[in-house]
Structure 1
Amino acid sequence: MTSDDTVGPAGTRSIETHSALSPDQAGAVLELLAEAARADGQQPVSEQGRLQLTGGAREGVSHLLLLVGDELVGYAQLEDTDPVEAPAAELVVHPAHRGHGHGRALGSALLAASGKRLRVWAHGGHPAARHLAQVLGLTLFRELRQMRRSLTDLDLPDPVLPEGVTVRTFVPGADDAAWLAVNAAAFAHHPEQGSLTRRDLDDRKAQPWFDPAGFFLAERAGDVVGFHWTKVHAAEQLGEVYVLGVAPGRQGGGLGKALTTVGLRHLAAQRLPTAMLYVDADNEAAVSVYERLGFTTYETDLMYRTET
């Protein structure tokens, strides 16, 4: 743990850096995230970031706590695990403490910790986040769209699987290694999804929302060649195309579209009114497929980075 003390307009401000959070610290951060989500209408930190709050130290992950006196008013997470890309970060300031320079202080601390080589997510792309990125000297790098469509009028043709391909549901424990391998291959170009480890998979399997009945594997001759992992956000009554992947060499045969249909039908059967998914805006082929399936853009997350 390190500490950097400064004096701000709201009183004495300090930023602590931890490789792991205690249960009390993690609980305080989760409360802060919940307050921000209520105020902003969306989570300020990704699912992966929230999972990394607990369970002890994780290689390459740092937690920055911004305190005014003894009160936690800001949080940032820095993940330096990609061998090529700059470290990635997320940050949030408690809604009641915004406008006092805390976001800039956290951003400056992240720049210092990363050696001024940094990528930062701005979930929702709010004007205040865009302004902070400009103040920190960051430029827009990536646009991640959240797309949605109604499930109440779902009328998709029966899925047509490539010859020799069958679909079944995931078996926890038995299918872990095979899924991790095909996920890594399918998302080799994707810095977050493609780097998931067994610990990351175990974290998700331990969550209340995990349901193997909504986790579909496509097989051919005993090999996993694609998958569609769905997720249900019970409180929001949202179904999600959580992760959809096809093994390299298996694209272009209609497997992705068939797996999408299988998952959407599963979500609709649970009487969920809406489905959502995330897709990079520059993945024009995927965006086009989802638009043809009735999805439209709902909101956008932006990633900024230092000049390289």
Structure 2
Amino acid sequence: MRIKSFKITDFKPIKNIEMGHLGDIIIIAGANGSGKTRLKQAIVQTLQGDPVMDITIEATRTEEEDPKYFNGSSVEVKTGQPNQTLNNYINSRKYGAGKYVGSLVQIDSNRSIQALKYNPVNWLAGDPDDTNGPGNYYFSAFSGRWQNFVNYIHQKSASRDKKLADSLKKEPTKGEEIIQKNPDPFQKYKKIFSDLLPGKELIDINPAQPREFQYKDETGQALPFQTLSSGEQEVIKVLFDVARKEIKHSVLIIDEPELHLHPTLTFKLIESLKSIG
């Protein structure tokens, strides 16, 4: 899905905004206090079933045009009038196997992370991506999603280790084939890290001892994740967060994407997000 047009009136401090014929990437700029964050809140609130604005949602894939979803190429929502068609569609979104298709991703400006709690992994719990989750996962606050991610990736790595051990016990002569069938889930994030921060390499995690991520710098010294600059941490956290679900056909809203970032990192962030989904 995508936002085709919207109109919002008397949503303080916003007096009136109307936009149509929207493209794939929209940048809304303005002075502090002009209502940019409020506009984001209005979109999220409306897509959650409490319309505070007029909005037209356009289908971007054939499935969405099905009678059980949009029943056409678009769905129109009016201020103050809950739209059951859109509500049913959003509630139908389920992500499994790490996928997230046809919903909303919101990244709020409050991306400061408090002390993380690292949960011990459950070696018998299985792969966390084998369980379907709600289609409104990315409606929640970013800081909570990062806490969830660090425990998720340790649990997923533990599940992979157990699969390898169990498979090798059954077929000890097929070690290489078994490893190829069960790739390391952390490699995806290591590539994002090294592509974004040349000369730095994320160190493999040990699910038996969940802890803060570490990386190697140009000298080969192992350093904790928190020694990265605030801007580097910001971009890595955002990209790890959205890469987790293999997002496709979704509306992605970022409040203050340039927060803490040098212009070069801002550009890299936007280019990386464009390549996702």
* TM-score (norm. length: structure 1): 0.22
- Per residue, is there more helix in 1 or in 2? 2
- Per residue, is there more strand in 1 or in 2? 1
